[in-house]
């Protein structure tokens, strides 16, 4: 099971946090900090797996991460998941984001937190993997975008927006 999915940048600023188990807000923030601390001090080219921090469950859990340009994508999983499988899943997630945002960058994640959550929700649900086929995911996301657009044009033409 996936316990948490975290994205933060090279400075530890969270860009997405999704917990599939309940923690208090404080603990969630501490977990993000702890995870950043564990992951960021690692060299490039070392392995992509390490034991989880104490807050997230210690050695029963693994952190599996990838580092892309300015962002770290970290999945915290238990022993029932295949490490390499999760690495591939991260890749699918990133490629999907890349397709949806057309060359995704950190700013896209900042300004479209809700979108990122929706895309993730098409892949992972309640800590389990829902779909791994990128085209299927994108089809769902596109369908949502269409509905959204239709509604936007009907209900919102011009307005003072602040």
Partner 1 sequence: MPAVSKGDGMRGLAVFISDIRNCKSKEAEIKRINKELANIRSKFKGDKALDGYSKKKYVCKLLFIFLLGHDIDFGHMEAVNLLSSNKYTEKQIGYLFISVLVNSNSELIRLINNAIKNDLSSRNPTFMCLALHCIANVGSREMAEAFASEIPRILVAGDTMDSVKQSAALCLLRLYKTSPDLVLMGEWTSRVVHLLNDQHMGVVTAAISLITCLSQKNPDEFKTCVSLAVSRLSRIVSSASTDLQDYTYYFVPAPWLSCKLLRLLQCYPPPEDGAVKGRLVECLETILNKAQEPPKSKKVQHSNAKNAILFEAISLIIHYDSEPNLLVRACNQLGQFLQHRETNLRYLALESMCTLASSEFSHEAVKTHIETVINALKTERDVSVRQRAADLLYAMCDRSNAKQIVAEMLSYLETADYSIREEMVLKVAILAEKYAIDYSWYVDTILNLIRIAGDYVSEEVWYRVIQIVINRDDVQGYAAKTVFEALQAPACHENMVKVGGYILGEFGNLIAGDPRSSPLVQFNLLHSKFHLCSVPTRALLLSAYIKFINLFPETKATIQEVLRCDSQIRNSDVELQQRAVEYLKLSSIASTDVLATVLEEMPPFPERESSILAKLKKKKGPGAVSVTDLEDNKREGGELNGGGDRGPDTSAMAASNASTPSPSADLLGIRSAAPIGAAPTSAGSLLVDVFSEAGPAAPSAAVNDDGFLSSAPPSEDPAAPLSEADDLLNKFVCKNNGVLFENQLLQIGIKSEYRQNLGRMYLFYGNKTSVPFASFSTTVSCPGELQSQLNVQSKPVEPVVEGGAQIQQVLNIECLTDFSEAPLLNIKFRYGGALQNLTLKLPVTINKFFQPTEMASNDFFQRWKQLSQPQQEAQKIFKANHGMDTEVLKAKLLGLGMALLDNVDPNPENYVCAGVIQTKGQQVGCLLRLEPNAQAQMYRLTLRCSKDSVSRRLCELLAEQF
Q: For binding to partner 1 (CB under 8 A), which residues are involved?
A: 14-18, 20, 22, 25, 29, 32, 42-43, 45-51, 58-60, 80, 82-85, 87-89, 91-92, 110-115, 117-118, 121, 125-136, 140, 143-145, 147-149, 151-153, 155-156, 158-162
For the chain, helix (H) and strand (E) counts, in that order, are 5, 7
Closest CA to 120 of 144, 103, 102, 149: 144
- Report residue 78 as tokens: 């238990």
Shortest approach of partner 1 to residue 33 CB, angstroms?
Answer: 9
Shortest approach of partner 1 to residue 21 CB, angstroms?
Answer: 9
CA 81 to chain centroid, in Å, comes to 17
Shortest approach of partner 1 to residue 90 CB, angstroms?
Answer: 10
Of residues 40 and 118, the one with the C-beta less far from partner 1: 118
Phi and psi at 127, nearest 5°, equal: 90, 0
Shortest approach of partner 1 to residue 76 CB, angstroms?
Answer: 15
Give CA–CA dist 162/153, Å, rounded. Answer: 19
Of residues 10 and 132, the one with the C-beta less far from partner 1: 132
Give CA–CA dist 84/48, Å, rounded. Answer: 9
């Amino acid at each position: 099971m996936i316990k948490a999915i975290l994205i933060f940048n090279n400075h530890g600023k969270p860009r997405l946090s999704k917990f599939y188990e309940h923690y208090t807000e404080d603990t969630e923030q501490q977990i993000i900090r702890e995870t950043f601390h564990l992951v960021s001090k690692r060299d490039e080219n070392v392995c992509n797996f390490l034991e989880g921090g104490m807050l997230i469950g210690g050695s029963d859990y693994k952190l599996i991460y990838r580092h892309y340009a300015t962002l770290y994508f970290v999945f915290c999983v238990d022993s029932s998941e295949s490490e390499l499988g999760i690495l591939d899943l991260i890749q699918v997630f990133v490629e999907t984001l890349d397709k949806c945002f057309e060359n995704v960058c950190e700013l896209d994640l900042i300004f479209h937190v809700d979108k990122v959550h929706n895309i993730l929700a098409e892949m992972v649900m309640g800590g389990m993997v829902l779909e791994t086929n990128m085209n299927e995911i994108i089809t769902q996301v596109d369908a949502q975008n269409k509905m959204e657009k239709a509604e936007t044009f009907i209900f919102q033409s011009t307005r003072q927006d602040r």
